[in-house]
A and B are shown apart, each in its own frame.
Chain A
Amino acid sequence: MSAQKLDQLRMQVKTLDSISTAPVILQPLLEILRMPAETVSFEKVVELVSYDGAIAAQCLRMANSPLFGYREVESVRAAVMALGLQRVRSMLFGLCMDRVLPKDKWVLEPLAFWRHSLGCALVTQRMARKIGYPEPERAYLAGLLHDLGFLVNSLLFTEDFRKSLNRASETHRALHLCEEEILGFTHVESGLMLAEHWRLPQEMCDVAYAHHTPEILSSPSPLTCLVHLSDLLCRVRYLGYGYDEFLGVELGGESAWKTLVTTYPSLAEMDLARFTMDIDGAMDQIVATVDTIFGTGSSARTVTAV
């Protein structure tokens, strides 16, 4: 993509605030996301969660879902306590992302998008734990937000993005390849623009930008590599973008895998077949959780279950 076109895209992303329906808590939440985890105040987070009734309800549903341990918590305070500040912070961000798009602007099926995003968050986090990556919660957030460029493309380039999705689903190819053909850029570039506009930490900007091709960064971070692998794994585990992609991936042959092994040698010992079967086992819960949180009646818009 040319520098000129990139600048143009950057300008357009700046107009996004005026047309998006992002909840008011987004800005204070972004502040919190920029802060080091240990300096985040408990009260501040409880306040943010409680501010918006719909978001508070979604947070409680998430805390009570089997995926997060069936807690039976009834108050926002208890939910934040049970889930931990970092997890709630990520969750809130996800819920805000969900509200950025007005309901008539969704191009991807919202439930498919959330199954992919939450699936990727959980897979990235599980893989992070397996290999001894020190900040699994950070991995969770990175997985959750990696595709935020889809929000930009849906909102600002609705028709062309819809064409890209249709072409991808008709030809069973990867969505980013069809975006490139039709839009001339992909959700990784627009995702980077939005991540920068929201002043997300550099590492998260890298994830948004390089999760399909970590090798475009001179030295991709372990986080970017982890999200790349999780994204692929989700796409071959029915947690893609809601259409059948014809895909065969050898994760061990990916450059991200090889890069990651140099920092985390235990990855080489990881039983990937077993890891995949664990994901398969958790699949029903992932789908059920997304459907409870982002499904019918959970937010401002109504979604028909797929």
Chain B
Amino acid sequence: MASESAKPMLETPAQPSAVSDPAYLKIRDLIYRISGIYQPEEKLYLLASRCGRRMGAVGAQTPSDYLEHLTTRGNRDAELRLLLNEITIGETYMFRSSPQLEALRTVILPQIMQAKSSMGFKRLRFWSAGCSTGEEPYTLAMFLLEESQKLLAGWTFDILATDLNDDSVASAKAGIYGDYALRNVSETLRRKYFKVHDEKRLQAGDLLKAQIRFDRVNLSDNSKMVFLKGMDVVFCCNVLIYFDLASKRRVVQHFHSNLLPGGYLFLGHAESLFQVDDTFRLVHFPGTTSYCKAPVDGGKR
């Protein structure tokens, strides 16, 4: 929902001849192995353009040279991190992944609500884990408020939004956004949920802020992770990519126990849990995928 990999519309395609360099396929596979982020062959020009920026910075002449920087040079770990930063470049905007929201509205929430109401529960819990500057949780809050008279009539919900970075949490709490972050927010929603902050920016209104609890959480902090319970849906988009395999496994296992049976975990759209975890079930929805924790009955949905 929030920070997905970069802004395709702003990319300049690299030269086709450069993209066909087999070194890019190797870089692609390396990134996938390390971070779980995958670029299909038809989108390699995006990867090439991001590598291009880093190649300029380190003075690599060819993709093969650059591959060497990523694999054999002494600073390879640092370089890989810098490349990942290019790939998932921070700036994001609200309502970035409508297929995720559609999956929630059409299948996931009805399914969870049916299971919960049979037990007499009428409350839903969401967690934006790695919320960065808050675009994702505010999107979720608007979406849920808009549904509160329809799909969610008679239900309450809360949203926990956490990040490791103090500055990000502070900025998310302030909720001040410019045109870029608000590009997909309709005029109606802007008027309803935001107030004018200054000439160029809007600030999330009290109603919106009241839906979200912001906090600083380190996903590697086991002592804190074990206390986050009863989640229905967790969003963790483009965060796990920075973890090594062992910590990634640990975090994903935490998510599994943070979630209620039948709950869902959303990752960034190019991310996969292949060979990271086999307790979650991969579920396909129109235009997106999600990971489901098996319901109590263990049955098929």
Q: Do A and B come from one complex?
A: yes
Complex CA distance for A274 and B106, rounded to whole angstroms: 24
Q: Is the contact region of chain A dominated by helix, strand, or loop, or is it mixed?
A: helix
Contact B272 A248 (CB under 8 A): no
Contact B285 A247 (CB under 8 A): yes
Q: Assuming A246-B106, A250-B281, A250-B283, is B289 touching A271 (CB within 8 A)? A: no
Q: Is the contact region of chain B dominated by helix, strand, or loop, or is it mixed?
A: mixed
Complex CA distance for A273 and B278, rounded to whole angstroms: 13
**Contact partners of A14 in chain B: CB under 8 A:** none
Complex CA distance for A281 and B289, rounded to whole angstroms: 15
Of the four ranges (under 10, 10 to 19, 20 to 34, 35 or more), the interface on chain A belongs to 20 to 34
Contact A248 B283 (CB under 8 A): yes
List B residues 265-298 near A (Cβ within 8 Å): 270, 272-275, 281-287, 289-290, 292
A252 contacts chain B at the CB level, 8 A cutoff: yes
Q: Which of A253, A271, A278 contacts B40 (CB 8 A)?
A: A278
Contact A246 B284 (CB under 8 A): no
**Between A and B, how many residue pairs show CB distances below 8 Å?**
77
**Contact partners of B289 in chain A: CB under 8 A:** 273, 276
Q: Which of A233, A278, A284, A285 contacts B284 (CB 8 A)?
A: A233
List A residues 219-238 near B (Cβ within 8 Å): 232-233, 235-238
Contact B282 A250 (CB under 8 A): yes
**Contact partners of B108 in chain A: CB under 8 A:** 248
Contact B272 A274 (CB under 8 A): yes
Cβ-closest chain A residue relative to B111: A248
A109 contacts chain B at the CB level, 8 A cutoff: no
Cβ-closest chain A residue relative to B37: A277
Complex CA distance for A232 and B300, rounded to whole angstroms: 15
Residues on B close to A: CB < 8 A? 32, 38-43, 103, 106-108, 111, 270, 272-275, 281-287, 289-290, 292, 300-301
- 8 pairs from A and B in contact (CB 8 Å cutoff): A248-B111, A248-B301, A250-B282, A253-B281, A273-B274, A277-B272, A278-B40, A281-B43
Residues on A close to B: CB < 8 A? 172, 232-233, 235-238, 244-253, 271-274, 276-278, 280-282, 284-285
Closest 7 CB pairs of A and B: A281-B40, A273-B272, A246-B106, A281-B42, A248-B107, A236-B284, A271-B274
